[in-house]
């Protein structure tokens, strides 16, 4: 009898055997730069496979050579991360930005067009506009909620429709939780591709993954993560990952070897530990976020609340995409404090439990002001178009006691009017 265990069951031991390490129940930190070969012949064989000089044998694994190429902490982490997204392969990196930049460099050529969803994560936006363009890649953004026809027209009018190389998505969008239909983007990519020229669809799944949204199942070629966020989950590590088919990830790993931006053994080990509680943490975070979002929506000092769990059939397309694409509303909530920047700042400054910091997905709740912090670099007209108003606060909900969290949010909201008046009088 055989049973296919669920990922949360496999996170404790999958891909590791105690006999590799004196019976240690847990995978140790392989803090080593290089690995001893049993013989010169073995070293030769390992290099032949690593450098693609010959096909790998059916049962042959890439032998351990040097920690820029491979290391047990890195490889076991990749094996475990694959399970959540049902991916064939995974490559892990020392940051989310290194996963994203390596994938873009590998799959785009000078002269290509990169179409992306707005708003993008600030670091990605900078990379796309200031680095990719230096290498002759043309970039074009589309607005949240754009229809299939709008995307096709945008590509047609760019004059580069036969050079579309990739559609790059972030869904739900940060910080407004706007959704992009991944399957629709797959169909647009296929429309502009040709025989021998596959147009890639890449999805930054940091906001929902790896539990609540599986882009590969909706037609994406690549899934990217800042593992700094939910996957790490303790605000103590920076890391990233890229997942997809064995063929695509082999290319990503080759470039990683030569850029040298692979994950370090200690970071890999920390993430192995984080993965053991990933599902527990993410489920508790959602449970708290649902409570907080519902109460915020009813609070007299709060305007609009952006939370997937508050979508209803009246929201039309957004609701349909949510039902098709996501299995949970997640733990990211953004909302407008009635008023503007002064009111939003007063709220943030009066929080006692929730920390005022950027980043997301961690055990502890964090709050920040997108317009002047994470999205400070976004053009003011675009900020307005994307709904990143001066009154908007973004909340990443943690695993604390929900009533404690609500106590903190409520007491900070109570202080808003008083604090703003005091500033105006001074
Ligand atoms: C944080 C983040 C990144 C960048 O990841 P780092 O680990 O900070 O390099 C990319 N995309 C999204 C959506 C993020 O939240």
- Residue 360 binned pLDDT confidence (cut-offs 50, 70, 90): very high
Ligand 1: nearest atom to the Cα of 206: 13
Question: 384 CB contacts (<8 Å, ≥6 apart)?
Answer: none
What is the CATH architecture of 7-17+71-275?
Answer: 3-Layer(aba) Sandwich (3.40)
C-alpha 28 to ligand 1 mean position (Å): 27
Distance CA 122, CA 95 (A): 14
Ligand 1 center to 175 CA (angstroms): 13
Q: Is 228 in the pocket of ligand 1 (CB under 6 A)?
A: yes
Q: 205: CA distance to ligand 1 center in Å?
A: 10
Length of the chain counted residue by residue: 426
Contacts (Cβ under 8 Å, ≥6 apart) of 19: none
CA nearest to 288, candidates 408, 112, 411: 408
Q: Is the CB of 267 under 6 A from ligand 1?
A: no
Output the pLDDT for position 424.
66
Map out the domains of the chain as residue ranges.
7-17+71-275, 279-425
pLDDT tens digits along 80-106 = 999 999 999 999 999 999 999 999 999
Two structure tokens written together for 374:
């994470």
Say yes or no: CB of residue 123 within 6 Å of ligand 1.
Answer: yes
- pLDDT (0 to 100) of residue 52: 80
Q: Is 101 in the pocket of ligand 1 (CB under 6 A)?
A: no
Contact 262, 30 (CB under 8 A): no
| 194: DSSP letter | B
Matching fold, domains 7-17+71-275 and 279-425: no
Structure confidence at residue 21 (pLDDT)? 95
Mean pLDDT over each residue of the chain, to the nearest integer: 95
Please give the distance, rounded to the nearest whole angstrom, from the Cα atom of residue 153 to the centre of ligand 1: 30
In this structure, which residue's CA is closest to atom 8 in ligand 1?
96
| pLDDT given at position 336 | 98
Cβ of residue 328 lying under 6 Å from some atom of ligand 1: no
User: Is the per-residue pLDDT at 405 higher than 70?
Assistant: yes
Please list, residue by residue across 312-338, b when 16 or more beta carbons sit within 10 angstroms of its beta carbon and e when fewer do: eeeeeebeebbeebbebbbbbbbbbbb
Q: What pLDDT shows up at residue 348?
A: 98
Model pLDDT for residues 41-63, shown as the tens digit of each residue: 999 999 998 888 888 888 887 79
Closest-lying ligand 1 atom to the alpha carbon of residue 123:
4
Question: Ligand 1 pocket, 206 CB below 6 A?
Answer: yes
Q: How far, CA to CA in Å, does 299 sit from each of 95, 115, 287, 389, 406? A: 38, 39, 19, 19, 11
Q: Which of 100, 121, 122, 205 to mutate to test the pocket of ligand 1 (most atoms within 8 A of CB)?
A: 121
pLDDT value at residue 59: 83
279-425 folds as 3.90.1150
d(CA 211, CA 286): 11
- The pLDDT assigned to 390 comes to 97
Ligand 1 binding pocket includes 335 (Cβ within 6 Å): no
Percent of the chain with pLDDT over 90: 92
* Interval between CA 296 and ligand 1 midpoint (Å): 27
For a mutational test of ligand 1's pocket, the pick from 96, 102, 368, i.e. the residue with the most ligand atoms closer than 8 A to its C-beta, is 96
Cross-strand bridge partners of residue 142: 117
Query: Does the pLDDT of residue 133 top 90, yes or no?
Result: yes
- The CA distances from residue 125 to 221, 251, 367, in Å, are 20, 23, 22
* Residue 421, pLDDT above cutoff 90: no
Q: For the chain, percent helix, then strand, then coil, each to nearest 5?
A: 45, 15, 40
397 pLDDT band (50/70/90 cuts)?
very high
Q: What is the pLDDT of residue 126?
A: 93
**Is the model's pLDDT at 131 over the cut of 90?**
yes
Q: 97 alpha carbon to ligand 1 midpoint, in Å?
A: 6
Task: Give the pLDDT score at 49.
Answer: 87
The answer to whether residues 310 and 294 touch, using CB atoms and an 8 Å cutoff, is yes
Q: Is the CB of 95 within 6 Å of ligand 1?
A: yes
The answer, yes or no, to whether any atom of ligand 1 lies below 6 A from the CB of 96, is yes
> Ligand 1 centre from 96 Cα, in Å?
5
pLDDT of residue 419: 64
Question: Which pLDDT value is given to residue 144?
Answer: 84
pLDDT tens, residue by residue, 366-386: 999 999 999 998 889 999 999
Per-residue pLDDT of 153-169, as tens digits, reads 999 999 999 999 999 99
Cβ(97) – ligand 1 distance below 6 Å: yes
User: Residue 385 Cα, ligand 1 centroid: separation in angstroms?
Assistant: 22
* Phi then psi dihedrals of residue 206, to 5 deg: -55, -40
How far apart, in Å, are the Cα atoms of 232 and each of 81, 152, 206, 227?
A: 12, 37, 11, 6
121 lines ligand 1 (CB under 6 A): yes
Rounded Cα distance, 49 and 52, in Å: 5
**In the predicted model, what is the mean pLDDT of residues 237-243?**
98
Q: For residue 99, give the ligand 1 atom closest to its CA.
A: 9
Kind and range of the H or E run holding 244: strand 240-244
The CB of 408 under 6 Å from ligand 1? The reply is: no
In this prediction, residue 209 carries a pLDDT of 84
* pLDDT value of residue 415: 93
For residue 423, what pLDDT is reported? Answer: 66
Kindly report the backbone phi and psi dihedral angles of residue 237, in degrees, each rounded to the nearest multiple of 5, phi listed first: -155, 150
């Amino acid at each position: 009898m055989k049973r296919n265990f669920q990922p949360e069951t496999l996170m404790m031991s999958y891909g590791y055997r105690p006999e590799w390490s004196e019976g240690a129940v847990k995978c140790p930190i392989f803090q080593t730069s290089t690995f001893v070969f049993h013989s010169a012949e073995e070293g030769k064989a390992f290099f032949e496979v690593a450098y693609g000089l010959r096909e790998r044998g059916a049962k042959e694994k890439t032998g351990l050579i040097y920690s820029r190429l491979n290391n047990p902490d890195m490889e076991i982490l990749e094996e475990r991360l694959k399970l959540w997204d049902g991916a064939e392969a995974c490559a892990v990196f020392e940051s989310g930005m290194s996963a994203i930049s390596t994938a873009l460099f590998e799959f785009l050529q000078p002269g290509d067009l990169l179409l992306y969803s707005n708003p993008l994560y600030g670091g990605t936006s900078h990379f796309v506009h200031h680095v990719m363009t230096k290498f002759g890649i043309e970039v074009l953004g589309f607005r949240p909620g754009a229809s299939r026809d709008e995307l096709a027209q945008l590509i047609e009018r760019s004059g580069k429709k036969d050079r579309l190389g990739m559609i790059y998505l972030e869904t739900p969008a940060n910080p407004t939780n706007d959704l992009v239909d991944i399957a629709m983007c797959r169909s647009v990519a296929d429309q502009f591709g040709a025989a021998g020229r596959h147009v890639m669809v890449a999805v930054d799944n940091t906001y929902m993954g790896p539990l609540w949204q599986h882009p590969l199942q909706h037609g994406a070629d690549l899934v990217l993560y800042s593992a700094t966020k939910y996957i790490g989950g303790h605000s103590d590590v920076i890391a990233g990952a890229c997942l997809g088919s064995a063929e695509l990830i082999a290319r990503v790993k080759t470039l990683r070897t030569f850029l040298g931006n692979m994950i370090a053994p200690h970071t890999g080990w920390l993430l192995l530990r984080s993965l053991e509680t990933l599902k527990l943490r993410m489920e508790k975070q959602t449970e708290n976020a649902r409570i907080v979002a519902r109460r915020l929506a009813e609070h007299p000092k709060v305007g609009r609340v952006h939370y997937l769990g508050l979508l209803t059939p009246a929201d039309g397309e957004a609701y349909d995409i949510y039902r098709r694409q996501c299995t949970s509303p997640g733990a990211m909530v953004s909302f407008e404090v009635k008023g503007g920047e002064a009111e939003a700042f007063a709220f943030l400054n009066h929080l006692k439990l929730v920390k005022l910091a950027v980043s997301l997905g961690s055990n502890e709740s964090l709050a920040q002001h997108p317009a002047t912090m994470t999205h400070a670099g976004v053009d003011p007209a675009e900020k307005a178009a994307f709904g990143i108003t001066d009154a908007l606060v973004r909340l990443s909900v943690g695993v604390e006691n929900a009533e404690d969290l609500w106590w903190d949010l409520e007491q900070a909201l109570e202080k808003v009017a008083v604090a703003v008046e005091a500033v105006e009088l001074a």
